[in-house]
């Protein structure tokens, strides 16, 4: 397995059930079947290339927007990508179906009834697609969204059992898809109605597969699409039958309650990405951002551009331009950018020049397409113009403990998710998950000092810089976060002591949220 800065990894999952001696396996000529998982840890997203080396035919399932990894693998293996299969209309990233179709001429396919704004070849329940010996079977599995499908992979069309199943957002390792995120084509489909469809899809389509069937989901740990996802990115039907809380002996009503309650806030950018995936979006531009001098950057900021500083938090704290938002490239950069920034505004990057092209692509993966340029050599700029360099306030836990006793008007903002804050928070804190902070500013007092904190310090830097950019004057973040506070034995609050102020996002545009 190979990996990169953004957590991208590639794992070959060559079906082996009939390549060695095993009970029940017929003796036959070895078929060179290919199933490769391409995993993006920074978005918790798994996509797949499936091919048959005897024919050279291949498909890609749920591709990311920068499609070079699939083109490279196909070229190395002598494969032709003939089809792109989307298991549903995605909301957490802009999919690469249009880019792959443009680069390869591949047909785009969704489950029947997807209602997208570009030509597709719909796939129907029970339909089989032959790549040669390797055969794909489509299962209609509505629930997460109405058009959701799963793809069963057969190494040979007449095998007694399939190798695996690509489950999209229907079944994860340790969890199942959320039915509460869809807000679209017919708003008459409530979370409860979709949860009931999901219950029937899981039991009627997936749990009838043999226990040895491999499970290949579209998401892994860290995704907002579930509350109990495992750290593993593959499993088996049998293992999930044993350990997945949603697949235990629940009645339909109990299942509905289990999968609709206690979910995290819907990320802000999901509605935009779902619309773009459904209606179509511009092809990805992977050129490095234009180099801009300081005066040009300031002029663009004055005209409404967002300054996105992707440097390390310590570098940002030491010197940054007024109004800049800091989201470090080393973390879940694109996800938090999507939650904090607006897709309808230009973006100017402040980053290590060698990493600006990477930052641009990672932003484009979540629909932030309007990167207009990058500041030339930030370190030299701040050295030459120190009067423009602002500093950020960062507090240690000892400093915060002292400040709480001295400053009665202090606002503590806990930007962790509900599942995290359930285990405790700093007394007096207001809970506003970072995913909804940008839509929750009116509930905070701009005249009172404020300290933002998260679990360990990454999200709080994002939050503090966003608050400062919005005009809050006295904002700090907590070094080490709640983990450091709790670890030092300082006071914590639980349950009824918490001040709950998490906001609910406005309804999504009328084109679908997956």
Helix (H, G, I), strand (E, B) or coil at 314: helix
Over residues 133-156, the mean pLDDT reads 97
Over residues 333-354, the mean pLDDT reads 95
What's the pLDDT band for 1 if we cut at 50, 70, 90? Answer: very low
The string of pLDDT tens digits covering residues 220-252 is 987 666 666 778 999 999 999 999 999 999 999
C-alpha to C-alpha distance for 508 and 121, rounded to whole angstroms: 27
Q: Which two tokens stand for residue 212?
A: 């040895």
Long-range CB contact pairs, 125-131, < 8 A, 24+: 125/149, 128/157, 129/59, 129/83, 130/157, 131/50, 131/51, 131/52, 131/55, 131/57, 131/58, 131/59
CATH code of 291-388, in short, is 3.40.250.10
Whether residue 332 contacts residue 478, with contact meaning beta carbons closer than 8 Å, is answered with no
- What integer pLDDT is reported at residue 138 of this predicted model? 99
Q: Which two tokens stand for residue 92?
A: 């957490």
C-alpha to C-alpha distance for 231 and 221, rounded to whole angstroms: 5
- What integer pLDDT is reported at residue 184 of this predicted model? 38
Instruction: Tally Cβ neighbours within 10 Å of residue 335.
Output: 25
C-alpha to C-alpha distance for 264 and 253, rounded to whole angstroms: 21
CA distances (Å), origin 165, targets 11, 61, 211: 16, 12, 11
Cβ-Cβ contacts under 8 Å for 136 (sequence gap 6 or more): 50, 59, 85, 128, 129, 130, 151, 152, 153, 154
Residues paired with 166 in a beta bridge: 151, 216
Q: Which two tokens stand for residue 355?
A: 């990493």
The string of pLDDT tens digits covering residues 10-25 is 766 554 333 333 333 3
- What integer pLDDT is reported at residue 5 of this predicted model? 54
Helix (H, G, I), strand (E, B) or coil at 117: coil
Fold for the domain defined by 2-263: Metallo-beta-lactamase; Chain A (3.60.15)
Helix (H, G, I), strand (E, B) or coil at 385: coil
C-alpha to C-alpha distance for 393 and 452, rounded to whole angstroms: 11
C-alpha to C-alpha distance for 166 and 215, rounded to whole angstroms: 6
- What integer pLDDT is reported at residue 17 of this predicted model? 34
Residues paired with 464 in a beta bridge: none
- What integer pLDDT is reported at residue 441 of this predicted model? 92
- What integer pLDDT is reported at residue 25 of this predicted model? 35
What's the pLDDT band for 510 if we cut at 50, 70, 90? Answer: very low
- What integer pLDDT is reported at residue 266 of this predicted model? 80
- What integer pLDDT is reported at residue 20 of this predicted model? 30
The ranges assigned to domains in the chain are 2-263, 291-388, 393-500
Rg (alpha carbons) of the chain, rounded to whole number: 24
Whether residue 412 contacts residue 485, with contact meaning beta carbons closer than 8 Å, is answered with no
Catalytic residues: 454
- The answer to whether residue 306 scores a pLDDT higher than 90 is yes
Asked whether the domain spanning 291-388 has the same topology as the one spanning 2-263, the reply is no
C-alpha to C-alpha distance for 388 and 225, rounded to whole angstroms: 41
The string of pLDDT tens digits covering residues 207-219 is 999 999 999 999 9
Over residues 44-72, the mean pLDDT reads 98
What's the pLDDT band for 7 if we cut at 50, 70, 90? Answer: low
Backbone angles phi, psi at 194, to 5 degrees: -70, -35
Fold for the domain defined by 393-500: Oxidized Rhodanese; domain 1 (3.40.250)
Q: What is the pTM of this model?
A: 0.88
The string of pLDDT tens digits covering residues 437-455 is 988 999 899 999 999 999 9
The string of pLDDT tens digits covering residues 460-494 is 999 999 999 999 999 999 999 999 999 999 999 98
Q: What is the mean pLDDT of the chain?
A: 89
DSSP letters of 159-222? -SS-SEEEEETTB-SS-B--SS----S-TT--HHHHHHHHHHHIIIIITTS-TT-EEEESB-TT
Q: Which two tokens stand for residue 451?
A: 């300290």
Poorest-confidence range of 65-69, 328-332, 466-470? 328-332
Over residues 154-175, the mean pLDDT reads 96
Output the CA angle 244-144-239, nearest 5 degrees.
Answer: 20
């Amino acid at each position: 397995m190979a990996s990169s800065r953004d957590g991208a990894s590639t794992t070959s999952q060559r079906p082996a059930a009939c390549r060695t001696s095993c009970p029940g396996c017929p003796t036959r000529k070895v078929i060179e079947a290919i199933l490769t998982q391409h995993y993006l840890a920074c978005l918790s997203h798994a996509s797949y290339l499936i091919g048959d080396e005897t024919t050279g035919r291949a498909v890609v399932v749920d591709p990311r927007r920068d499609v070079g990894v699939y083109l490279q693998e196909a070229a190395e293996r002598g494969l032709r990508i003939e089809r792109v299969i989307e298991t549903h209309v995605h909301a957490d990233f802009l999919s690469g179906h249009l880019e792959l179709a443009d680069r390869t001429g591949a047909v785009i396919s969704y489950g029947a009834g997807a209602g997208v704004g570009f030509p597709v070849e719909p796939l129907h329940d029970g339909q089989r697609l032959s790549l040669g010996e390797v055969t794909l079977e489509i299962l209609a599995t509505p629930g997460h969204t109405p058009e959701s499908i799963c793809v069963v992979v057969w190494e040979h069309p007449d095998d007694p059992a399939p190798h695996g199943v690509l489950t999209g957002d229907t079944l994860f390792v340790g969890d199942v898809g959320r039915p509460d995120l869809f807000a679209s084509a017919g708003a008459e489909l409530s979370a409860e109605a979709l949860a009931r469809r999901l219950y029937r899809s899981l039991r009627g389509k997936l749990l009838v597969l043999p226990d040895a069937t491999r499970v290949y989901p579209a998401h892994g740990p860290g995704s907002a699409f579930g509350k109990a996802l495992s750290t593993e990115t593959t499993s088996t039907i049998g293992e999930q039958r044993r350990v997945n809380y949603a697949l235990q002996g629940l009645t339909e009503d109990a299942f509905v309650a289990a999968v609709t309650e206690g979910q995290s806030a819907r990320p802000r950018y999901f509605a935009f990405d779902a619309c773009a995936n459904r209606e179509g979006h511009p092809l990805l531009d992977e050129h490095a951002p234009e180099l801009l001098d300081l005066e040009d950057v300031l002029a663009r900021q004055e005209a409404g551009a967002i300054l996105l500083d992707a440097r390390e938090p310590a570098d940002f704290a030491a010197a940054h331009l007024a109004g800049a938002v800091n989201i470090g490239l080393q973390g879940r950069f694109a996800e938090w950018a999507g939650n904090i920034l607006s897709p309808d505004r230009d973006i100017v990057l402040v980053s290590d020049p060698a990493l600006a092209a990477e930052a641009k692509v990672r932003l484009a993966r979540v629909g932030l397409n309007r990167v207009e340029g990058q500041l030339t050599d930030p370190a030299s700029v701040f050295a030459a113009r120190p009067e423009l360099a602002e500093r950020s306030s960062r507090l240690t836990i000892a400093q915060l403990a002292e400040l709480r006793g001295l400053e009665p008007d202090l606002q503590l903002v806990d930007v962790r998710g509900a599942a995290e804050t359930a285990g405790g928070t700093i007394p007096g804190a207001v809970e506003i998950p970072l995913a909804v902070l940008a839509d929750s500013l009116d509930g905070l007092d701009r005249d009172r000092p404020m300290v933002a904190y998260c679990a360990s310090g990454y999200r709080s830097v994002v939050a503090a810089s966003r608050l400062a950019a919005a005009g809050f004057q006295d904002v700090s973040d907590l070094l080490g976060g709640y983990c450091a506070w709790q670890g030092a034995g300082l006071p914590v609050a639980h349950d009824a002591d918490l001040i709950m102020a998490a906001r609910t996002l406005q309804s999504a545009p009328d084109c679908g949220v997956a």
